[in-house]
Amino acid sequence: MKNEYATQKDAFKRYLSETKRQVDSELAILVSKLSELNLHPQIEYAVLSEGKRLRPILVILSAQSVGRNKDDLMSLAIAFELMHTATLIHDDIIDQDETRRGRPTLYKKWSNNDAILTGDALVALSIHLASKYGEEIISTAARCALELCDGEHMDANSALKTATEESYFKMIEKKTASLFRDSAYCGALVGGATTSEALSLSKYGENLGMAYQLRDDLLDLETLIESSKNLKPPRISLPLIHLYEKSDLKTRDQLEKDLFAANQFRSRIIAERVERMLLEAGSTAYCKRKMSDYMQKSLSSIKPLRESESKSYLIQITDSLVI
């Protein structure tokens, strides 16, 4: 007989699978209604690609945790997924990534112009969908879109020599955590949350987003080191910032050469040297501790919420970040 924990975990997996299926279905319906647009093929390619649908799931779970049925939330949930998809399209252009989820990125399949305009169209669609929920929701969504742009600009212009922990955390707060925060906050508002419940869920989303980006950056760096096949310098991330700050001038010069000089990081020998430097400085472990701190803050944020199945799923989303 399965224990209670295993039963809860199975229920959580079924919930995620079913909710993702519903979100995917609603996205397909929305895209089908845009067939008259010249950008329809590009929008379809971007929107109907595989994804976790974590942000729309946060919208729905946040509303359900304060009592609202998911059937009233799909347009809002989709609005945040479209905004997320727009950021991915623009990110790929800026980062010059040629594939995403095993497929050519949109700008590689079509062009930079098509990709930029598709991303812009998705932001417009996102705001349009959010508008049906009232002034505060649309204001929050618009502010979030602005923060995403500002965070991406910070990321695109970051450099290892000038990056600090403070600037890094401010960047990921805007670039990633803002969308998690406002997905949860808007879901809570539409769900009829009290002011304190909405703020609790907003903090939950923000801290979850911070932990999520730390995890993503760490996994990206580890994958890069293991493959030694990158064709461009790695993203500036917390492990690299920590290592750089802990290093002497000679080590800093070596690190910059290994990571950024003429794509030297493709060498297995160099990759192993960087990996050793990260280990000796405790940089990977430091990043994991920071990620754990944000996970704990995320869980603490929703302690005041009444116990419910939806709250337990929010907790399990946070717990799933452990690596």
The mean pLDDT value for 217-246 works out to 83
* 87's tokens: 């950021």
- Whether the pLDDT of residue 263 is over 70: the answer is no
- Using the predicted structure, report yes or no on whether residue 208 has a pLDDT greater than 70: yes
Residue 323 confidence class, pLDDT cut points 50, 70, 90: confident
Q: How open is the CA angle 93-98-100, to the nearest 5 degrees?
A: 95
Q: Which residues pair with 104 in a beta bridge?
A: 99
CA distances from 158 to 97, 130, 264 (A): 17, 32, 20
Beta bridge partners of 99: 104
Q: What is the pLDDT of residue 35?
A: 97
pLDDT category at 231 given cuts 50, 70, 90 is very low
Mean pLDDT across the stretch 120-129?
Answer: 97
Q: What is the dihedral of CA 102, 107, 108, 110, to 10 degrees?
A: 110
Cα 92 to chain centroid, rounded = 14
Provide the token pair at 249.
Answer: 């001038």
Q: Is the pLDDT of residue 102 over 90?
A: no
Kindly indicate the confidence band of residue 2, based on its pLDDT and cuts at 50, 70 and 90.
Answer: low
- Alpha carbons within 13 A on the beta-carbon side of 4: 1
CA distance 303 to 293: 16
DSSP, collapsed to helix, strand or coil, labels residue 304 as: coil
Domain ranges of the chain: 4-319
Residue whose structure tokens are 């959010």: 130
Q: Residue 235: which residues within 8 A CB-CB, separation 6 or more? A: 95, 155, 217, 220
CB-CB contact of 190 with 73 (8 Å): yes
- Per-residue pLDDT band for 232 (boundaries 50, 70, 90) equals low
pLDDT tens figures, 132-189: 999 999 999 999 999 999 999 999 999 999 999 999 999 999 999 999 999 999 999 9
Distances (CA, A) of 228 to 20, 45, 103, 192, 272: 34, 30, 21, 50, 9
Percent of the chain with pLDDT over 70: 95
- pLDDT above 50 (res 90): yes
Least confident of 63-72, 74-83, 221-230, 294-303: 221-230
In this predicted structure, what is the pLDDT of residue 227?
72
CA 304/CA 307 separation, integer angstroms: 9
- The pLDDT score that the predictor gives to residue 14 is 96
% of the chain exceeding 90 in pLDDT? 80
Return mean pLDDT, the chain. 92
Is 1.10.600.10 the CATH classification of the domain at 4-319? yes
Tell me the C-alpha distance between 252 and 129, whole Å.
Answer: 48
